[in-house]
Amino acid sequence: MTLRLSVLDQSPIRKGGTAADAVRETLELAQLCDRLGYHRYWLAEHHSSQALAGSTPEVLIARVASLTGRMKIGSGGVMLPHYSSFKVAENFRMLETLFPGRIDVGIGRAPGSDQRTMRVLADGKPKWSDPAEYPLQVRDLVAWLHDALPDTHSAHGVMAQPAGATAPDVWLLGSSEDSASLAAYFGLPFCFAHFINPDGGDGVTRSYIENFRPSALHPEPKAMMAMGVMCAETDAEADLLSKSRELWAMRLRTQNEPGPFPPVEEALQAEKDARTRAFMASMRRRGVTGSSKTVRAGIEEHAARYGVEEIMLVTISFDFEKRKRSYKLIAEEFGLKRS
């Protein structure tokens, strides 16, 4: 089995940097990963964040796809309850028309924001309040992407333009059993967010595979998992570089707004507190950290445990050059085909 490697980019903002810097780095990193031989490049959706600049993956997808030539480009993901399924279908039908065969629609139901921002996005009409709403949105999105709305649907005859011979793949994203069950029911691909929830994802993913109902679009299950990774020349250097993200993750869970990603020096200072140090160490369960060989062993172990043939890597470093180096080292270790 040849393991495919892909990238999830959250467009991280460094302390002392700007959101514009983060977007420029996303464009540079995407071009590098395209040359290195990564399979997919997905852009995340977060709102009103001081740390993550990617608020509109649809817009970034268009730019990233225009700057790359080999990778599939997609959303990781569009938070569907914020929006009309019809409008999301229109956005991605346009992207598919511009870049046929290269577009993925990754969708999720998390807010991607704080509660106040969520209410602003929903214009006072959040769809999270009704648990039955999201499956209907998923159903309608797939139907509009393929111009296959049933005759009995109240919006039958409404078409998501521009129509075309191909349509983007729809992936359901999740960090719990709910999205996996929904993906299995609709016969859609599924990606588990191990970098968010490291507990039980292997069982959730295997349950998805076992309960998958073949669909016209996907006769077989298609599963992936996304994990945090930091790769450096040595285990010790990777350990040091990881501390910025670990301190930020601790602050995310203990403060309303953790701010931008701190430098390593700030993380080392904070780590002098025993409770902070213990919390930061617990973040390692969301991925693998180390030299090329250490990281390869960790990635392959997770792939075997989850039963997947593709893993999406999330790498965040205060030093952008070290972040790029992480993806280069992994590509070299796995022998990805460079362009």
DSSP labels, 39-55 = SEEEE----S-SSB--S
Contact yes or no for 318/24 (Cβ under 8 A): no
Looking at the DSSP bridge assignments, the partners of residue 225 are 192, 311
Say what the pLDDT of residue 99 is.
98
Contacts of 265 (CB under 8 A, 6+ apart): none
Most distant CA atoms of the chain, gap in Å: 64
CB atoms near residue 95 (< 10 Å): 23
Looking only at the bridges linking them, the beta strands covering 310-314 and 4-9 are parallel
How many structural domains is the chain composed of?
A: 1
Give how far Cα 329 sits from Cα of 46, 93, 116, 234, 296, Å.
28, 35, 40, 11, 10
In a domain, 279, yes or no: no
In a domain, 200, yes or no: yes
What are the pLDDT digits (tens) for 32-65? 999 999 999 999 999 999 999 999 999 999 999 9
In a domain, 220, yes or no: yes
Average pLDDT over all residues of the chain = 94
In a domain, 116, yes or no: yes
CATH number, domain at 226? 3.20.20.30
Q: What is the signed CA dihedral for 107, 313, 41, 109, rounded to 10 degrees? A: 10
In a domain, 166, yes or no: yes
Say what the pLDDT of residue 121 is.
76
Lowest mean pLDDT among 22-31, 128-137, 268-277, 315-324: 128-137
Report pTM: 0.95
What are the pLDDT digits (tens) for 133-175? 899 999 999 999 999 999 899 999 999 999 999 999 999 999 9
In a domain, 323, yes or no: yes
**Domain residues for 86?**
4-230+288-334
Chain-centre distance of CA 111, in angstroms? 14
